[in-house]
Structure 1
C-alpha cells in the first residue's frame, strides 16, 4: 500500500500549515510507516492511505515519488 505522509521539517517548531510537506511511502500499514520514519527528524502530522484513484491522480505529477524504505 502507499501512504501519503504530511509532515513538518522541524520537530521542535509549532506546526504551521504553510510549511507542511508531503511524501509518499510504501508500507503494509500506518504503523509500519511510523516505524520507517522514526529516525528522521520530522514532525508527522497525518498519514493518509492512498486509494487507487488518488494514486492515479498523483502519478500525473512529474515530482511524484514513492519512498521504499
Structure 2
C-alpha cells in the first residue's frame, strides 16, 4: 500500500499549513510507515493511505515519487 505522510521538517516545528511537506512511502500499515521514518526527526502531522482514484490523481503530479526506505 502507498501512504502519504504530512509532516514538518523538525520535531520542534509547530504545524503550520504553509510549511507542511509531504512524502509517499510503501508499507503494510500506518505503524510500519511511522517506524520507517522515525529516525528522521520529523513532526508527523498525519499519515493517510492513498488508493484508487486518489492514488491515480497523485501520480499525475510531476513530483510524485514513492520513497524506498528499508
Say whether the fold is shared (TM-score over 0.5).
Answer: yes
1:1-69 to 2 correspondences below 5 Å: 1-69=1-69
In structure 1, what is the Cα distance between the partners aligned to 2:21 and 2:32?
Answer: 20
Q: TM-score of the superposition, structure 1-length normalised?
A: 0.94
1:58 partner SS: helix
- In the TM superposition, structure 1's runs of 4+ consecutive aligned residues that sit over 3 Å from their partners are none
Q: TM-score of the superposition, structure 2-length normalised?
A: 0.93
Unmatched 5+ stretches in structure 1: none
RMSD of the TM alignment (CA)? 0.8
2:39 partner SS: coil
Unmatched 5+ stretches in structure 2: none
